[in-house]
Amino acid sequence: AIIFALLFAQVAAFAPQLFGVRPDSALAAKHVNDKAARWAAAKRPKKSRPSDINRKPIVYELTSISKPSEYSISDAPASPAVKAD
């Protein structure tokens, strides 16, 4: 009976734990660490003044943006690009 008890104690040390049992080690962290972008966002200055809180976003006029002519849409059929030599 004593041999069986010793054998059972040794085998129980290597048995898997049941579900819901938390390990008593340093790996059981309460909170995960923030990743770099979230950590940096938390360190940004907060909007505490009324002038910051009530600030409206800047509306840019689309007419002020001028595109080059190669970005305009044409009604002509597509033609393959020819490499200039």
Two structure tokens written together for 42: 């938390």
- The answer to whether 22 and 28 are in contact (CB under 8 A) is yes
Model confidence band, residue 21 (pLDDT cutoffs 50, 70, 90): low
Distance CA 17, CA 23 (A): 9
Give this prediction's pTM. 0.30
Per residue in 22-69, pLDDT (tens digit) is: 555 556 567 888 899 999 999 999 989 999 999 998 887 777 677 777
Distance CA 78, CA 60 (A): 33
Distance CA 42, CA 45 (A): 8
Other beta carbons within 10 Å of 1: 5
- The answer to whether 47 and 53 are in contact (CB under 8 A) is yes
